[in-house]
Amino acid sequence: MRMLAYGSPADSFDDTYRMAESIVLETVKQFARTVIAVYESDFLRPPTASELEIILRVNEARGFPGMIGSIDCMHWEWSNCPTAWHGQYKGHKGKPTIILEAVATQDLRIWHAYFGLPGSHNDINVLHRSPAFDDLAEGRRPQFEFDVNGNKYNMCYYLADRIYPDWATLVKSYSEPISLKERVYAERQESVRKDVERTFGGLRSRFRIIYNPGRLWSQSDLNDIMRVCVILHNMVIEDERNLYNNHQEFEMSSDPPISQNRDVPEISQLINSSTKIRDKATSNRLQRDLMEHIWFLYGNDAGPFANRQGRQEHGTLR
């Protein structure tokens, strides 16, 4: 736990615990594998149907009906990456990294974690390889209908940044908002989407081992370290939630996880579901409807800003 929490070198425990560096490293690896085997099914899983209802209710109150979380990627530097692999693992960071894709909610709980792709990938490449939408495509996720601006939708969505593709299950911001409606929507979307970035910050500050460059030689060991940190992070979130009773509805649910049914659907069903998930027209329509919905909720708050902007354009405000 000290290595995970403080990121200390393995040989720094020699004087305190009388343990050799090799024994410390093997103990940490075994601890990670044990925690994953025992607790992964409870603390790193998709939300149950009742938990999804609560998540939807919370996000609807924030102005985004049908939103079930925010998705983004984080890079973990790998200092001991083999030299022959540097071309594969070096990306825009300039150093070898491994990517974590995660979905998080407002309470910083991580509901989906996909780790292991080389740092030369971008968020789009990771999305195409991750199992984030497998449950939806295979019909294992319950259907929720919601209304936005008078239109009905039956697929929930994640908030994402501008690099992500125009899918029906992803809602992005405007890269260059022009009208006041677009500016208000972009500001609100980017504010709520910060959930996943705050989660990454909390995860890295709580477990300094993934804040510092990874010093292990095996990628599978790094995978175990990242997974155990995510599981322990979710344990802390659950414990703090019960301690402060901020979200009493989110107590440990007895419902089975949604993804327990592993029946393979027909190939035609998979194709149709994937087509609906990647429908660009639905994505654009949902974004416009959400913009109108956000404007209805928060447009009055932008009144003074609109007046100032108008006077600036006419040269009456300096």
Q: What is the pLDDT of residue 115?
A: 97
How many structural domains compose the chain?
1
Number of neighbouring beta carbons within 10 Å of residue 51: 22
> Which residues of the chain are modeled with pLDDT < 50?
246-248, 252, 258-260, 305-318
For residue 213, what is the DSSP state?
A: P
Q: What is the pLDDT of residue 235?
A: 95
Residue 98 in any domain: the answer is yes
Q: What is the pLDDT of residue 56?
A: 95
- At position 212, the amino acid (one-letter code) is N
Residue 63 in any domain: the answer is yes
Q: What is the pLDDT of residue 253?
A: 52
Q: What is the pLDDT of residue 245?
A: 54
Residue 252 in any domain: the answer is yes
Residue 7 in any domain: the answer is no
Q: In angstroms, rounded to a whole number, what is the distance separating the alpha carbons of residues 110 and 250?
A: 14
Residue 5 in any domain: the answer is no
Residue 36 in any domain: the answer is no
Q: In angstroms, rounded to a whole number, what is the distance separating the alpha carbons of residues 274 and 119?
A: 26
Q: What is the pLDDT of residue 308?
A: 44
Q: What is the pLDDT of residue 14?
A: 77
φ, ψ of residue 133 in degrees (nearest 5): -115, 15
Residue 27 in any domain: the answer is no
Q: What is the pLDDT of residue 38?
A: 97
Q: What is the pLDDT of residue 251?
A: 52
Residue 30 in any domain: the answer is no
Reading the block at residue 186, the tokens are: 């972009």
Residue 59's alpha-carbon distances to 132, 200, 207, 250, in angstroms, are: 19, 20, 28, 14
User: In terms of residue numbers, what domain contains 213?
Assistant: 46-313
